């Protein structure tokens, strides 16, 4: 099977090389390199949004979440994703309008917030939040795939070599072709992700005898899987609310997505993309339910790694197993490259001076972020979904500050907001490490921080509107 | 008229968001009634995603900034 993977993998890399070549442009300005000329249509928009949003977390994390915690995982991710898509229509328009009216060159939310608040600190806070919460997320995706590859081909390659190979390919096409190359590769990776997840999903569903039979068998195993909060009680209201808030805010708080919001050709292209993205979300999450329920029936007591290895590889034909591995690599790369590149763009947004010099610094930063992710992936824990949730919630803490910057006429009057956001981010990190309580009374710390910041931003916005 | 439908759509989505966290969508430890063999929270959640998709489409048709 390793031979087959190397052959198909080589073809895949060649396809990436071709797409990078297609994306190369003589215009090497920041606007073109980092923002793809801000002229993206709805087809490319859909796949680049989808491939960026749906990562390893979808193929590896969600089936395991369904298997262990039951159908509440649908509310946790699918329902939240659909609210997020509506949020793109509701708020995306205003974000784009504000950027256009500002007359500034948008390269990232950090620079834009510096402009809105008239304070560098606002930009630093946005960058810090993105950096702190995205690096672990990128790393865990790389690690998830590497662990999987290591299990599929034990003792063939050391884990650091798999991780390095993935990051090298990613950095090469990102550095050479810029955002355009990433978006072209997103189309390939998005299609591959959808294809692979549906093949496995249908195989699992057929083996269970159809949808009704699937749930009947799950009920025999553990009927708590068929309702919330699930067997381990994870999906309580606070978890679901916190997750939804975090996911709904992603398009405005995570640079790899907010960039895509801004670079769409026009509002119509953004709207079409949003609707198609909602459909894509349902399409990509539904088969993970089938895979998870298959795991609940057949591999109830297995470890996550064993369940995934057996369901995705051992139980499949070799060719499908190889496609799964490739799909996994593609899923991890399509999200990780955009996140690392997005962090680079945030750096560019904070830099002034001559464009080519700033772009050189940015490319150096992208390389540095990739190295940090590589190191982090070698030493990070294995909790894929929970680390992803930490990333959603952590970045969501910046949303009230960003919205206040966008929706108020003169955000410079509210320079205290970046300071409070900074304190909230630090408090959230301390509570994540157990240095602050994870709950105050009955309320989770992350929810308390989110709602306090949200309430302050709303109150200020309300008062300003009244005056 | 378009503005009214837009506002109605936004209100409907907000109502749906609140309802998501009530026993109407996520009743604790309840998986009845089934619909075509699918447990309650699952089919209700799926229905909600379809509704949201429909509302998102409607929102794109009536968004106040559509003609900008």
The answer to whether the CB of A234 falls within 8 A of the CB of A154 is no
Confidence at residue B13, expressed as pLDDT on a 0 to 100 scale: 97
Q: pLDDT grade, residue A92 (50/70/90)?
A: very high
Per-residue confidence (pLDDT) for residue A321, from 0 to 100: 86
Model confidence over A100-136: pLDDT tens digits? 999 888 999 999 999 999 999 999 999 999 999 888 8
Contact state of A267 with B28 under an 8 Å Cβ cutoff: no
Q: Cβ separation of A212 and B46 shorter than 8 Å?
A: no
Residues of B in contact with A282 (CB under 8 A): 49-50, 53
Give the residue numbers in A contacting B (CB under 8 Å), as ranges.
71-72, 74-75, 78-79, 82-83, 85-86, 89-90, 93, 97, 210-216, 219, 223-224, 226-229, 235, 237, 240-241, 244, 267-268, 271-272, 274-275, 278-279, 281-282, 289
**Nearest chain A Cα distance for residue B62, angstroms:** 11
ipTM for the assembly: 0.97
Contact A71 B45 (CB under 8 A): yes
Whether B26 sits inside 8 A of A75 (CB atoms) is yes
* Contact: B56, A229; criterion CB under 8 Å: no
Helix (H) or strand (E) holding B42: helix B40-62
Nearest to B26 by CA among B7, B42, B11, B46: B42
Q: Which CATH number fits domain A2-11+40-380: 3.60.15.10, 3.90.1150.10, 3.40.640.10, 1.20.1730.10?
A: 1.20.1730.10
Instruction: Say how far apart CA A20 and CA A289 lie, in whole Å.
Output: 34
Peptide bond into A138 cis (omega under 30): no
Which candidate in B41, B44, B58, B61 is best for mutational testing of the A interface (most A CBs within 10 A)?
A: B41
Q: Do residues A91 and A371 touch, judged by C-beta distance below 8 A?
A: no
Domain residue limits, chain B: 2-62
Per-residue pLDDT tens digits for A254-303: 999 999 999 999 889 999 999 999 999 999 999 999 999 999 999 999 98
B20:A224 CB<8 A: no
Residues B20, A244: C-beta atoms closer than 8 Å: yes
Q: Report the residue of chain A nearest B60, measured CA to CA.
A: A271
Burial class (CB in 10 A: 0-12, 13-18, 19+), A153: middle
Which residues from B are below 8 Å from A97, CB to CB?
65, 68
- State residue A52's pLDDT score: 87
pLDDT of amino acid B61: 93
A-facing residues of B in 9-68 (CB < 8 A) are: 10, 13, 17, 20-21, 25-31, 34, 36-42, 45-46, 48-50, 52-53, 55-57, 59-60, 63, 65-66, 68
pLDDT over threshold 70, residue A383: no
pLDDT one-digit tens code per residue, A210-251: 999 999 999 999 999 999 999 999 999 999 998 999 899 999
Q: What number of residues does chain B have?
A: 68
Q: Report the b/e string of A333-365 with b at 16+ CB within 10 A.
A: bbbbbbbbbbbbbbbbbbbeeeeeebbeebbeb
- The minimal CB distance from A275 to the residues B38, B49, B60 is found for B60
Residue A32 has pLDDT above 90, yes or no: no
Closest CA to A179 of A111, A113, A256, A104: A256
Name every chain B residue with its beta carbon within 8 A of the beta carbon of A451.
none
Q: List all residues 6 or more positions away from A124 whose beta carbon is below 8 Å from its beta carbon.
A: A110, A350, A418
Rg (CA), chain B: 15
CB contact under 8 A, B53 and A97: no
């Amino acid at each position: 099977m390793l031979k087959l993977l190397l052959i198909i993998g080589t073809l895949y890399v060649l396809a990436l090389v071709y797409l990078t070549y297609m994306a190369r442009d003589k215009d090497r300005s920041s606007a073109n390199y980092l923002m793809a000329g801000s002229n993206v249509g709805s087809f490319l928009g859909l796949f680049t949004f989808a491939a960026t949003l749906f990562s390893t977390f979808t193929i590896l994390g969600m089936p395991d979440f369904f298997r262990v915690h039951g159908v509440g995982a649908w509310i946790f991710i699918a329902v939240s994703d659909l609210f997020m898509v509506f949020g793109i229509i509701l708020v995306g328009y205003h974000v784009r309008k504000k950027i256009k009216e500002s007359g500034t060159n948008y390269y990232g939310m950090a620079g834009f917030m510096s402009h809105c608040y008239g304070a560098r600190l606002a930009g630093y806070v946005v960058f810090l939040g993105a950096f702190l919460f995205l690096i672990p997320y990128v790393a865990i995706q790389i690690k998830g795939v590497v662990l999987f590859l290591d299990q599929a081909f034990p003792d063939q390659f050391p884990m650091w070599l798999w991780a390095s190979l993935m990051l090298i390919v990613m950095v090469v096409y990102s550095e050479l072709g810029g955002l355009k190359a990433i978006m072209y590769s997103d189309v390939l990776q998005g299609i591959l992700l959808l294809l692979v997840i549906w093949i496995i999903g249908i195989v699992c569903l057929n083996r269970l005898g159809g949808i009704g039979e699937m749930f009947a068998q799950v009920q025999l195993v553990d009927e708590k899987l068929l309702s919330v909060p699930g067997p381990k009680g994870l999906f309580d209201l606070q978890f679901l609310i916190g997750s939804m808030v975090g996911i709904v805010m992603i398009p405005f708080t995570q640079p790899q997505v907010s960039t895509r919001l801004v670079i769409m050709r026009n509002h119509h292209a953004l709207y079409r993309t949003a609707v198609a993205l909602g459909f894509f979300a349902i399409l990509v999450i539904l088969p993970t339910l089938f895979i998870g329920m298959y795991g609940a029936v057949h591999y109830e007591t297995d470890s996550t790694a064993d369940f995934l290895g057996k369901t995705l590889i051992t139980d499949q034909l070799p060719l499908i197993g190889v496609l799964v591995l490739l799909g996994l690599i593609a899923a991890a790369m399509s999200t990780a490259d955009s996140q690392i590149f997005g962090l680079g763009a945030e750096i560019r947004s904070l830099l002034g001076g001559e464009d080519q010099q700033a772009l050189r610094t940015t490319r150096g930063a992208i390389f540095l972020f990739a190295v940090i992710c590589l190191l982090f992936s070698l030493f990070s824990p294995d909790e894929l979904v929970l680390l992803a949730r930490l990333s959603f919630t952590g970045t969501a803490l910046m949303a009230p500050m960003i919205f206040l910057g966008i929706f108020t006429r003169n955000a410079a009057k509210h320079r205290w907001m970046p300071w409070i956001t900074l304190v909230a981010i630090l408090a959230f990190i301390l509570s994540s490490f157990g240095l602050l309580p994870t709950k105050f009374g009955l309320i989770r710390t992350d929810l308390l921080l989110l709602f306090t910041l949200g309430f302050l931003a709303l109150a200020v916005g309300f008062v300003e509107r009244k005056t | 008229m378009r503005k009214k439908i837009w506002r109605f759509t936004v209100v409907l989505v907000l109502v749906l968001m609140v309802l998501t966290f009530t026993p109407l969508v996520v009743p604790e430890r309840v998986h009845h009634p089934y619909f075509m063999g699918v447990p309650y929270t699952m089919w209700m959640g799926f229905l909600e995603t379809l509704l949201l998709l429909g509302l998102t489409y409607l929102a794109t048709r009536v968004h106040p900034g559509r003609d900008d």
